[in-house]
Amino acid sequence: ARCAGAARIWLLPAPAGQRLDPERLGDWHVALDQLQLPHADSAPLNWLETGHD
């Protein structure tokens, strides 16, 4: 799979009493923001052009 949503794999724990929804990228962004980790909505073009999976 090319994205967490497609693989249905979650590495980040959901906040207490909540559940992360694999269909919503926004849940990932909220969790990453809370951990103060950088993220992006898309891959850099140079990564796409080299054909790496």
So where are the chain's domains? Answer: 4-50
Query: Rounded to two decimals, what is the model's pTM?
Result: 0.42
Q: What DSSP letter does each residue of 1-53 carry, written as one string?
A: --SHHHHT---SPPPTT----TT-HHHHHHHHHHTT----SS--HHHHHHT--
Q: What pLDDT digit, counting tens, does each position of 26-43 carry? A: 777 787 888 888 877 666
pLDDT at 1: 47
